[in-house]
Structure 1
Amino acid sequence: MRRRDGPPAQVLLALCGAGFLLFNFPLLLVWDQPLTVLGLPLLPVALFAIWVGLVAALAWVSARRGGRGAKEAPDDSKVDR
């Protein structure tokens, strides 16, 4: 059986679902307030923070799962040609 590197499909599906829910219309109304964060409107700051959080979660899951496989891979620089 072929070994697949990367996070399992369930984790990717959960992150996709979380992104769909967090960027969905009803939850975006929570952030649509006349407030500012460091002089920036709250809605764009919240959208950027949610996006960064999803990307960070995906990177963390991918590095945690794929990190072990990278150590087991043979080093091609030592192969005689």
Structure 2
Amino acid sequence: MSITPQHRPRRVQERLVALIILALLLFCPPLLLVIDALPAAGLSWLPLYIFIAWATLIGLTAWLMEDGSKH
């Protein structure tokens, strides 16, 4: 039995909104410019930052969307 968005608990919806806000903050251009300007031995931190931030968002989304029931 799947849960439709209308039946989703309010806390889950609030957490999804918080996750969207976190994603917007992690990928805002000023923060990306700061990450890109970090000194490194000829390398840019930007690709690593984007990969880690994206993977974190995917993991948090998967954890949040689990309904907890065993099939």
Determine if the TM-score, normalized by the shorter chain, exceeds 0.5. yes
Matching of residue 47 in structure 1 with residue 53 in structure 2: no
- Report the AA paired with residue 12 of structure 1: L
Percent identical residues: 39
SS at match of 1:32: helix
How far has the Cα of 1:11 moved from its partner? 0.6
Q: TM-score, normalised by structure 1?
A: 0.63
Instruction: Give the Cα separation in 2 of the matches to 1:3 and 1:10.
Output: 14
The alignment yields a C-alpha RMSD, in angstroms, of: 2.6
Instruction: Give the Cα separation in 2 of the matches to 1:61 and 1:44.
Output: 26
- Aligned residue-pair number: 64
Which structure has the larger Rg?
Answer: 1
- Report the AA paired with residue 25 of structure 1: P
Instruction: Give the Cα separation in 2 of the matches to 1:24 and 1:4.
Output: 29
Q: Which has the higher strand share?
A: 1
Q: Give 4+ residue runs of structure 1 displaced > 4 Å after superposition.
A: none
In the TM superposition, 1:1-81 aligns within 5 A as: 3-4=7-8, 8-33=12-37, 34-35=39-40, 41-63=44-66, 66-67=67-68, 70-71=69-70
Structure 1, unaligned stretches of length 5 or more? 74-81
